[in-house]
Structure 1
Amino acid sequence: MNEQVSIRCADGARIAGWWHRARATPRATVVVAPGAAAEARFYMPFCEHLAETGHDALVFDFRSVGESDIDRRRRRECGFSTWIEQDYPAVLDHAHANARHGPMIVIGHSAGGWMAGVQPAADRIDALIGVAALSGHWRHMARPHRYAHWLAWHALVPASCRMFGVWPGMIGFRRNMGPRFGLEFSRWARRRDFVFSEPAFDANAWRFRGHLHLFQIADDPWGTKAAVADFGGRFPNASGCVVETIHKDADGGEPIGHFGVFRKSKARTLWPRLVGAIDTARDAARRH
């Protein structure tokens, strides 16, 4: 059963979400958090797969993305900190209020993963499964990509955001983003502690006590082993941490990259590994 819902945030904004429900009592409640600028519809087939394998899955669009549209003024004021402080807690409140059974597990892709660990409701997550969730400090990026990242975060993105009021999609993501996104990310990407350099966000990470399972994609130039390991080491009170690398040979030698795990073509080869991680996380949450 699929159901579209409207989720109200504390500041009055509303974001769009979609439940994909298991036919019977679910094994777990899973929140699927998109990567930055990625729309919920990209993850819909995976959510349907979760429902078919006995899980209730909730996916959503962060504000200013997809069907979570906002007016021009709010779009200009929106940044990663808005998603962290407003959208994420609202989604988790809604998920808890409408959960039928099982632990609360977040599968966060890229920014959807690293934001999950620093948002105010981090202590209400029983397990976080990160797919290409990483520390975005430019030195962690693979060579030669790191040099382009250095130029982007030290010069191109801040200059564009201040001069033109936009983070161009050609510098980072596939769509234009508001200036606050660019200014925040470029500031964090220049710091070795990345988003954890913000005291409030770091304090939220310390409150996370759930199970952590991180998938590192071997051919991902952003989510390198160093970037994923650095992120995983930021949760000193996690009940456990597993870092698992997915190599191309797991999918017949085909490239996977930063976005590939959630493509429908990976349903047979890679999605069972994510479902297995959910099962492991569920058992860890019950023991904890």
Structure 2
Amino acid sequence: MEVQVKESRLRTSNGYPIAVSKFFCNTPTKHSLVISSATGVLQKYYANFANFCASKGVVVYTFDYAGIGKSNSSIKELKKYTGNLISWGQNDQAAIVALAKEEHPDATLTLMTHSVGGQILGFNPNHGLIDKVIMVASQGGYWKDFEGYHQTKMWLFWYVLIPLLTPLFGYFPSKKLALFENLPKNMVYEWASWGRQSSYMMHFKNAEFLFDKIKLPILSWSFPKDFYAPEKTVDWLADQYKNAQIQRVHYAEEKKRQPGHFGFFKTAFKELLWEQNLHWIFNDSLV
């Protein structure tokens, strides 16, 4: 089936417009999918996977968080953005979920999260519109939960780079460090405050935290040699959704190709991972 892509902008409840891409075919659909990106990763990174799912009859929505990519027009606007990391869940992810459900009310809605996308699900007031969740390398970020050199890198990130560079630039200059997209200041300040705590975001738990209210089926993936989301940290985040129906899958060590943190969405893993997850979307099982 021929896939079409429609781009639009959606104003969220806190007033910031975010860029949305909708992948679809002109056929009746029983399934819709929202992809919630990793930190500072543009929605275009997920386009191949979105095209694949859309070609199988799934309507897919991707988006850039406020302040990121097409949802931000300039450095000047990035400096003005006042939202934090929680607002990415409360406003951005929530808005796209609501859009998907509004446009396809009878479709089964799956939320697929990559990395931080699974963290901010715990702040999404529209979680009741979602039927199931796939978490791809979604993890906690306490620096001591990482190992070796990567533990040192996480410590430097939370304690040195973000506190030092953000006030100098008025935003976190990720591009200058060859990391990912530039990030809003309030978002990285909150992110760093989480990363310095052994209970990560749960150290700050209050009424905004909806983790305990989420009772969805969740398929949570982790991968060997994923230094951004080691198995221990993925286990930790899954445990925060105490009332959800968790299916934890750690990708088999014996596989020749390892996706690491970003490979899941590359075409090389179409047969090994994409087909399995599409089957889970359709049938609630990987095989």
TM-score, normalising length: structure 2: 0.88
Instruction: Kindly provide the amino acid, as one letter, of the partner of residue 174 in structure 1.
Output: F
Alignment partner, residue 127 of structure 2: 122
Q: CA, structure 1 residues 282+91, in 2 after alignment: closer, same or farther (shift >3 Å)?
A: farther
For 1:61-72, what aligned pairs fall within 5 Å after superposition? 61-70=64-73, 72=75
For 1:259-274, what aligned pairs fall within 5 Å after superposition? 259-274=262-277
Q: Which stretch shifts more, 201-210 or 71-80?
A: 71-80
Alignment partner, residue 6 of structure 1: 9
Alignment partner, residue 230 of structure 1: 236
Deviation at 1:70, TM superposition (A): 4.5
> Out of 23, 38, 50, which is 1:35 matched to?
38
Instruction: Kindly provide the amino acid, as one letter, of the partner of residue 94 in structure 2.
Output: P
For 1:20-169, what aligned pairs fall within 5 Å after superposition? 20-70=23-73, 72=75, 74-76=77-79, 77-99=82-104, 101-169=106-174
Instruction: Kindly provide the amino acid, as one letter, of the partner of residue 161 in structure 2.
Output: L
Unaligned 5+ segments in structure 1 are 284-288
For this pair of structures, how many residues does the alignment match? Answer: 280
Q: SS of the counterpart of 1:67?
A: helix
Q: CA, structure 1 residues 90+224, in 2 after alignment: closer, same or farther (shift >3 Å)?
A: same
Deviation at 1:159, TM superposition (A): 2.1
Q: Matched residues in 1 for 2:21 and 2:246: separation?
A: 29
CA contact (8 A) 2:23 2:54 kept: yes
CA contact (8 A) 2:35 2:61 kept: yes
Q: CA, structure 1 residues 85+259, in 2 after alignment: closer, same or farther (shift >3 Å)?
A: same
Deviation at 1:150, TM superposition (A): 1.4
CA contact (8 A) 2:116 2:138 kept: yes
CA contact (8 A) 1:63 1:70 kept: no
Q: CA, structure 1 residues 282+15, in 2 after alignment: closer, same or farther (shift >3 Å)?
A: farther
Deviations 1:93-125 (CA, angstroms, capped at 9, x unpaired): 211111153222100111122212332222332
> Out of 180, 189, 192, which is 2:186 matched to?
180
Q: SS of the counterpart of 1:242?
A: strand
1:190 lines up with 2:204 in the alignment: no
**Structure 1 vs Structure 2: percent identity of aligned residues?**
20
Deviation at 1:209, TM superposition (A): 1.3
CA contact (8 A) 1:213 1:244 kept: yes
TM-score, normalising length: structure 1: 0.88
CA contact (8 A) 1:114 1:130 kept: no
Q: SS of the counterpart of 2:123?
A: coil
Instruction: Kindly provide the amino acid, as one letter, of the partner of residue 190 in structure 1.
Output: R
CA contact (8 A) 1:30 1:105 kept: yes
CA contact (8 A) 1:219 1:247 kept: no
Instruction: Kindly provide the amino acid, as one letter, of the partner of residue 185 in structure 2.
Output: P
Q: Matched residues in 1 for 2:214 and 2:285: separation?
A: 16
Q: CA, structure 1 residues 84+52, in 2 after alignment: closer, same or farther (shift >3 Å)?
A: same
CA contact (8 A) 2:21 2:62 kept: yes
CA contact (8 A) 2:68 2:183 kept: no
Q: Matched residues in 2 for 1:100 and 1:125: separation?
A: 11
Q: Which stretch shifts more, 163-172 or 90-99?
A: 163-172
Q: Matched residues in 2 for 1:281 and 1:210: separation?
A: 12
Deviations 1:182-240 (CA, angstroms, capped at 9, x unpaired): 211110011122223332476311111111110101110121111011000111221x1
Q: Matched residues in 1 for 2:252 and 2:69: separation?
A: 31
1:204 lines up with 2:210 in the alignment: yes
Instruction: Kindly provide the amino acid, as one letter, of the partner of residue 99 in structure 1.
Output: H
